Amino acid sequence: MSTTDLPEPPPAPRGRERRQRVQAAETGLAVLKGLGRLGGRASLSMLAAHVGESPAKVHRYLASLVEEGFVTQAAGSQQYLLGAESIALGLAAMRQAEPIRAAEASLGRLREALSLTCFVAVMGNKGATIVRFEEPWLPISVNARVGSVLPLLWSATGRVLLAWQRDDARLRAMAEQELAEAPTELRAQLDAADPIGRLAESVLAAGCAVVKDTNLRGISAVSAPVFDHAGRVCAALTVLGPTGGFDASVRGTAAKALREEARAVSAAMGFASTGLNRAGGMPTTPTP
C-alpha cells in the first residue's frame, strides 16, 4: 500500500477546538483586564507578572490586541497602553452606568434579607433626593417617597452624601443653613466646636452613617456611599425601620449588609475598590 492510499488522520474533535478558542479568548481578556487594573499602562514584564503568564505568551496576545486597536504601544517606550477600542468600550459602559439601574438588585436583596424599607438617593438641586424606593411586605408609615428631599445633617442619607463631598462649597452652605435653622436639641447632638467637620469625619471613619429618631421620630436609618468609576460618591444606599426593631449601629447586621451591597453597586458603576483611604474612596469597614 502506497502512502497515498493511507487514510487521512481524523480531524480534531470540535469540542477540543472550541475549548482551545475559549481558552485563547480568556487569556486575551485576562491580558486586557490586567492592563486596565495596572492603570492602563504597563511594561510587558509587569503585565506578564500580573496575569501569571510568560512574557512570550503575553506578547503574542498583546500583538493581536494592538492589531485590533484595543492596545497601543507608546512611541519610543516599552510601555503598553489601552487603545482607542478599549476607550470606546469604557465610555459606552460609563454612559450606561447610573445608580438607579445599578442599585435595583441590591435594593431587592436588602429588602428581602432585612425586611426594612430601602432606597437609593442622589444629590439633587435641593438636597439629597430619593430616586428609587422599595418597601418590605409590611411597610412602615414614613413620610418619604421617590422625590422626597432629605436633610444633609439630620438624615443618614444626607450625612453620607455630605461626608464624601465635604469640600463642595454648595453642600457646605446648605449644611450650614440647616444647622442655623435647627432646633437646640438637634444642634446639641453635634460637636459644638466643629459640628459639620466632626460629623463628616465620624461618617468617613465608620464607612456609613446612622441616625436614630433624628430625622423621623421612631425611625432609625443606616446609609452607605456608592462610588462611580472615578471614585466620587454618586449616590447613597439607605435602609430604615422602627427604632428598636433592628440593630441600627455601624457594626450591626443591617450596616454590614448595606456596606456589602453598596460595594456591589459601586463595582457596577465602574468603581475599582483597592483599599483607598477615606480621603479618596471606599473606607475600611470597621471590624465587627
Q: What is the pLDDT of residues 24-49, one digit of tens each?
A: 788 888 888 888 878 788 888 888 99
> pLDDT (tens digit, 9 = 90+) per residue, 43-53?
888 889 988 88
The pLDDT of residue 19 is above 90 = no
Question: What values do phi and psi take at 75, rounded to 5?
Answer: -60, 130
How do beta strands 219-227 and 233-242 pair?
Answer: antiparallel
pLDDT at 278 (0 to 100): 41
The CATH 1.10.10.10 portion of the chain extends over 13-94
The CATH 3.30.450.40 portion of the chain extends over 97-268
Residue whose C-alpha cell reads 430625622 in the numeric block = 215
How do beta strands 79-82 and 128-134 pair?
Answer: unpaired
Whole-angstrom distance, CA of residue 186 vs CA of residue 208:
20
pLDDT at 286 (0 to 100): 38
pLDDT at 29 (0 to 100): 87
DSSP state of 72: E
Tell me how far the alpha carbon of residue 84 is from its chain's centroid: 25
Whole-angstrom distance, CA of residue 66 vs CA of residue 70:
6
Q: What percent of the chain has a predicted confidence (pLDDT) above 70?
A: 82
The class level of CATH for 13-94 reads: mainly alpha
Helices (DSSP H) in 126-228: which residue ranges?
A: 156-163, 169-181, 184-187, 195-206
pLDDT at 41 (0 to 100): 84
CATH of range 97-268; options 3.30.450.40, 3.40.309.10, 3.40.50.970, 3.40.190.10: 3.30.450.40
Average pLDDT, integer, range 249-262: 91
Whole-angstrom distance, CA of residue 105 vs CA of residue 85:
30
The pLDDT of residue 248 is above 80 = yes
The pLDDT of residue 256 is above 90 = yes
From the CA atom positions of the chain, what is the Rg in Å? Answer: 26
> pLDDT (tens digit, 9 = 90+) per residue, 130-148?
888 888 876 666 666 777 8
